[in-house]
Structures are given as structure tokens and as C-alpha cells.
Amino acid sequence: MRLNSYLLRSAIVAALGGLLFGFDTAVIAGTTGALTNRYALSPGMLGVTVSSALWGTIIGAMFAGIPGDRFGRRDSLRVMAVFYVLSALGCGFAWNWYALLVFRFIGGVGIGGSSVLGPMYIAEVSPPKWRGRLVGLFQFNVVVGILLAYLSNYIISLIAPGATDWRWKLGVSAAPAALFLV
């Protein structure tokens, strides 16, 4: 099997899960001050807020293989993309602290699931000659996602500074999540 545009596009889209992983992991760093003020968070509550996505990641990583085996990697990755979109929009429009926690947890499930399913899918569709490089694209995108999170936090703080900039910072990931869904 040769590398063609369809396979390359499939690998790039699956690797968007890595970008979203990195983005979601890092974007919270730019919101901690505003979230602390908005919800009057103690240091412990802030820790729960930041780590809520990581708890979801554990669940997603532990159980994503089950639907991946049963329904296929690609369709299961689409479900993870729905989780990402729901999380981004839910966090951006969170009406209280508990809603924020729930939506961050949902995003974490998407992170964990795509971290397992994305590289597996890429490996399955890639020709042997390109497999290592294309699977590595997922991990490369994690780092790119971290960079983009810090960059977007900076840009949003310049163009929409204030008490609600955290909503934009958390919600902006809905755009790449929608691309991952397609």
C-alpha cells in the first residue's frame, strides 16, 4: 500500500486528537486567575478544576478500546470529537462551577479516548514505510496543541481582556474540535 492523499488526510485528522489533547491540557493555565475570581475558588477547588479533565482522561483511556474494537476506530474517534466539542462549548458557557467541572471531565474522556484510538487508527491505515512517521504526528500535535493554547490565551487576553476572557479561552477549542469531528 502506498501513501496517498486519502490516507494522509485520514492520519492528519486522527492526529488532530493529539492537538486537542495538548490544547486542552495547556489552555487551563491561562484561566486559573479568572476562574478563581469568578467562582471564589480555594486552592483545593482550583486543583479540582484543573485536574477534572485529567480524571476524565483516565476513564477515556481505560475504556476507549471497547467501543474502538466493537464499532471501529474511526467512528469511535468521531464520538471523542463530539466529547471535545461539547466540552469546549460547555466550558465556554458554563453557568456554574459544577457545570465547568462536568464539561472539563467530558473533554477529558475525549482526550483519553483519542489518545488511545488515534495512534491505533493511524497505525492501521498507514503503509509500513510511513507508519512510524504518521503515528509520530499524533505526539507532535500534542506539542503543537500546547503551543497553540498558550498563543491563543495570549491573543485572547489582548483582544478580549477582562473577567470573561476565560470563557473565550476555553471555548475557542470548539473550532479545531469541529474539524476533528469531520
Distance CA 168, CA 178 (A): 16
SS3 call for 58: helix
Q: Please, where are the H alpha helices in 72-127?
A: 73-92, 97-125
Distance CA 109, CA 106 (A): 5
Per-residue pLDDT of the chain (182 residues; tens, 9 = 90+): 677 888 888 888 899 999 999 999 999 999 999 999 999 999 999 999 999 999 999 999 999 999 999 999 999 999 999 999 999 999 999 999 999 999 999 999 999 999 999 999 999 999 889 999 999 999 999 999 999 999 999 999 999 888 889 999 999 999 989 988 87
Query: How deeply is 53 buried, as exposed, middle or buried, from its count of CB atoms within 10 A (0-12, 13-18, 19+)?
Result: buried
Distance CA 166, CA 157 (A): 9
What pLDDT is recorded for position 6? 86
Distance CA 163, CA 176 (A): 24
Residue in this structure with the C-alpha cell 479545531, named with its chain if needed: 176
What pLDDT is recorded for position 161? 83
Yes or no: say if 160 and 7 are a contact pair by the CB < 8 Å rule: no
List of residues 6+ apart from 32 with CB closer than 8 A: 46, 49, 50
What pLDDT is recorded for position 9? 87
CATH number of 5-181: 1.20.1250.20
Name the strand (E) or helix (H) holding 161.
none
What pLDDT is recorded for position 122? 94
Q: What DSSP string runs through 117-156?
A: HHHHHHHHHS-HHHHHHHHHHHHHHHHHHHHHHHHHHHHH
Distance CA 83, CA 104 (A): 10
Distance CA 72, CA 121 (A): 9
What pLDDT is recorded for position 79? 96
What pLDDT is recorded for position 97? 98
What pLDDT is recorded for position 5? 85
